[in-house]
Amino acid sequence: MGIFKRVKDIALADINEMLDKMENPIYMIKQYLRELEEQIATAKDALANQLIAERKFEALISELEQVIGNRVRQTNLALDRDDETIAQLAIEEKLICEKRLHVYLEQYQTVKQHIAMLQETLHTSKSLYDELQSQKWFLMSRANSARAMQDLNRVVASVDTDTVRKGFSRMEEQVWQMEARAAADAQVDRFFHNPTLAGTNTLIKNEVLQELERLKAERK
């Protein structure tokens, strides 16, 4: 099963050590994922072929066992009839079938071993594939965050913070003046549109004029 050595090598690798040695972890993980996908597909095809071979051997073994059983019965019948020629022919064919059956059984066991190895390899490879997929998304998220932080750091590094602060102070002063003017305009507007306030203002003006006349009289 040399064709699956690469899959086993990857499956048995230390994931953390592999990631530590990567210059570009995301690129390398994508590469490993592509390799695993190809090897998993190859292993699946090989497993399907081995399963087909297993069924064929099972059919051949069953057929030979039936033939051997038939030849044993034929041998016994021939001996019961004292027909040694037929008995010898039946025994000869039985022996040939038994040797063939022995070969088929060995090949059948080999096929079953290959099936078990392929199933284990597929299970291990699938587990590794899922782990690498998780690592890929995790690293991609970290890489995006790192790039965003680098971009932000470049922006901050290129900005004159003192100039920015002074500019914001000037803008704050202008906004304060705008707010004060708006508040004053609103107050004046309320005064001239409020009848009560307007009447009070007239009364005060009359009192001012009376006080002014009184002061003039005293000065004379």
Torsion of CA 193, 198, 199, 201, to 10 degrees: 170
Amino acid identity for residue 71 in this structure: R
Domain topology for 2-158: Helix Hairpins (1.10.287)
C-beta of residue 29 within 8 angstroms of C-beta of residue 136: yes
Tell me if the pTM is above 0.85: no
Q: How far from chain centre, in Å, is Cα 79?
A: 73
Task: Let me know: does 70 contact 89? Beta carbons within 8 Å.
Answer: no
Q: How far apart are CA 18 and CA 50, in angstroms?
A: 33
| d(C-alpha 70, C-alpha 98), whole Å | 12
Give the whole-angstrom CA distance, residue 179 versus residue 184: 9
| pLDDT tens, residue by residue, 116-152 | 999 998 888 888 888 878 777 777 777 677 677 776 6
Strands (E), 76-177: none
Which DSSP category does 83 fall into?
-
Q: What is the pLDDT of residues 66-101, one digit of tens each?
A: 999 999 999 999 888 989 899 999 999 999 999 999
Q: Express as a percent the part of the chain with pLDDT over 90.
A: 30
pLDDT classification of 59: cutoffs 50, 70, 90:
very high
In which region does residue 82 sit, left (phi positive, over 0), alpha (psi from -120 to 50) or beta (all else)? left
